[in-house]
Amino acid sequence: MSLATDFERVSLPLENAFTIARGTQETAENVVVRIEDEDGTEGIGAAAPSAHYGETADTVEAVLPDLLETVEDVGDPHQLDRIERRMAETVERNPAARCAVSVALHDLAAKRADLPLYRYWGLDPEEAVSTSYTIGIDSTERMAEKTETAVERGYSTLKVKVGTDRDEEIVSTVRDHAPDATIRVDANEAWSPREAVRKIDRLAAYDLEFVEQPVPAADPEGLKFVRDRSALPIAADESCVTLPDVPQIADKADIANLKLMKCGGLREAKRMIHTARAHGLEVMLGCMIETNAAISAAAHLAPLLDYADLDGSLLLDDDPYDGVAMPEGDIDLAGLDRVGTGVRRE
């Protein structure tokens, strides 16, 4: 069998400037990968690199030719284990770049089997959890407006970015404008351990679900300090990047937040999910700001999760790719009428 591959860089404006504790983003740079078999069936994937983890669109474009050469050398999209192993040998890091290839291969393999990806994996679509919708840091007035818009659009779970000198004001405002919503907060490493405990004690009064990454990933004992004293469950994101991190956070957090772009692909994400379960952790799957060319694949893992934060494409002003429908945050795998990941160019 022969496979043809190519990729292109896409610049995707966001609906609103997106601010977290460590910076603001107005445009998402993704790199879309295509892998086509000799019958003309095409698999699509995408990389959404993060400079925080040492990747940019430039580095993705630099390593993709070598990764795709590996795919062409193997020549069989169903040899997912062999290709994954060969890619890791070819490019040690660059997980977003490897993820783009992983997603495209899974899309192609499931299409060749004439199955949606969740069925290719044997998962139950009725078990899919809903996604949260993120409210980025902004002026209090704008965060109130964004919350009202999210509620009007039907999102019942909101993830609120914090890590400022007015965190309680932010959370209070969001709660006032979304009285019935499930609310979780994400500090993106912004607090010190003692500050985190104090803030969580106050924020717990607003009926929050959990707190994500309260302290820097470089301070694992600080994370444990917070978890041992926290009034709310703690999720680890920046502290949980790859498979070896999972056992390391097992006594320091309650929830492991995985991301395809951090771990390098779908097979590794599944391994991390099962490892987290074996260590007594709940599991959330998050994302970067991504086109549906990537998010759609992540959605097929929803039946394995306790929580999903897969709103990356929902934050875009316009996504050139369509994928798994998420009406009001519900990840509608059962309603998917296309094979593979369900992604297609609009």
Quick one: angle between helices 80-90 and 95-112, nearest 10?
A: 160
Q: Over the stretch 69-124, which tens digit does the pLDDT of each residue have?
A: 999 999 999 999 999 999 999 998 899 999 999 999 999 999 999 999 999 999 99
- Catalytic, 84? Answer no
- Catalytic, 252? Answer no
The catalytically annotated residue of 237, 238, 309, 319 is 237
The catalytically annotated residue of 259, 262, 268, 319 is 259
Residue located via tokens 């107005």: 26
- Catalytic, 114? Answer no
- Catalytic, 39? Answer no
- Residue 92 has a pLDDT of 85
- Residue 257 has a pLDDT of 98
User: What are the residues whose beta carbons fall under 8 Å from the beta carbon of 288, sequence distance 6 or more?
Assistant: 28, 48, 49, 50, 96, 259, 261, 312
pLDDT at 10 over 90: yes
The catalytically annotated residue of 186, 311, 319, 330 is 186
Q: Over the stretch 131-176, which tens digit does the pLDDT of each residue have?
A: 999 999 999 999 999 999 999 999 999 999 999 999 999 999 999 9
The catalytically annotated residue of 111, 159, 161, 262 is 161
- Catalytic, 259? Answer yes
Count other Cβ atoms within 10 Å, centred on residue 76. 15
How far is 36 from 3, CA to CA, in rounded Å? 6
Containing 143, the helix (H) or strand (E) segment is helix 140-152
Q: Over the stretch 245-278, which tens digit does the pLDDT of each residue have?
A: 999 999 999 999 999 999 999 999 999 999 999 9
- Domains of the chain with CATH codes: 3-118 (3.30.390.10), 119-345 (3.20.20.120)
pLDDT at 51 over 90: yes
The catalytically annotated residue of 37, 138, 209, 212 is 212
In this prediction the pTM is 0.96
